[in-house]
Structure 1
């Protein structure tokens, strides 16, 4: 050994290892770092540093871990940012803080999330109102429903779609396929007062130039578009980077169904009468830059 005079042997029973930086108790015994903690916590030495849990101010006191059942201590304080208590290295990053129960944590999260949720709810109500007013401004609801019922009877006779969809979940539409992959010309409307109401609706039950399909009312609009494209053999690159994206339009007025949100449920669109079963729908390609620049209050129409 190169430095036999450096360090001292640990006085803890069965240890006796040399520690070059031993810790000495006031009783005169020296210990390695690990056994100094055990000696201090054993309660057998009256002169050993007294364990304290919080707010320690001098080096004669050690910090005891606040974790339930843990007897480890350390000379340096490591406080939890949540509850302010000291924890040992092993329990320093415990998954849950004992001072913050589920109810308290939920309350803290609610304080942070409430403004965001209130904004989303208010925005959702605004969008529903805009959509409702646009449909009313463009067409007579009674005439549209009559037209859709006539189409529906013909569509159900020839409709194609995934057989895995339960009959109770199936909803039927007539789909007009795009004639090319070029982006369709569209106009953007933010003010419903600028819309021109339709004076009359032509009831045309003919399915010429359209494909009768059924989809699930429980699907998102994005999944519905994917299924329609599979059934009608339409090239669909919505899930890839590209200049054009597929969107669904009502044939009657050229209104784009939810141009920004693809996660909206088909059944929800039908409840709000954005879609009516039996509608003739057009699947068209739209310039991706137009979609990315849309504001929440902007609607798209075919020109």
Structure 2
């Protein structure tokens, strides 16, 4: 390699701004809070003690009275939002956690809920692992196909 090519290779990447690190990183991370450049070891706010970070910002506040998690905007402090929640009588600003509902087995008395359903290729309904075969869930389409055809 020529001297000019070595200089070009050294100009790629940036040095970590964490005191005492100064590591040359070819894929550096930019902190969204302080806008400084960091290596992989110091990329998180708590890893480089970000001066613009509100450490409570990453935590979800909880109501001291009702115990519910409280939703808040990006420009609101946790204390302000908890106060607003308390003033509403513990009714407003509650964080709703949407859980993905599982699929329920189509068989009448089966109460199985499954994350990944087995879809019958004949009737196109969801079934649990125990009722996944057409014979096990007494598939109407398969019963119709099995009936003898009468030729007149």
Between structure 1 and structure 2, the one with the greater Rg is 1
Q: TM-score under structure 2 normalisation?
A: 0.30
Q: By percentage of residues, which structure has more strand? A: 1
Higher relative contact order at CA 8 Å, sep ≥6: structure 1 or structure 2? 1
TM-score, structure 1 as length reference:
0.19
Greater share of residues in helix: 1
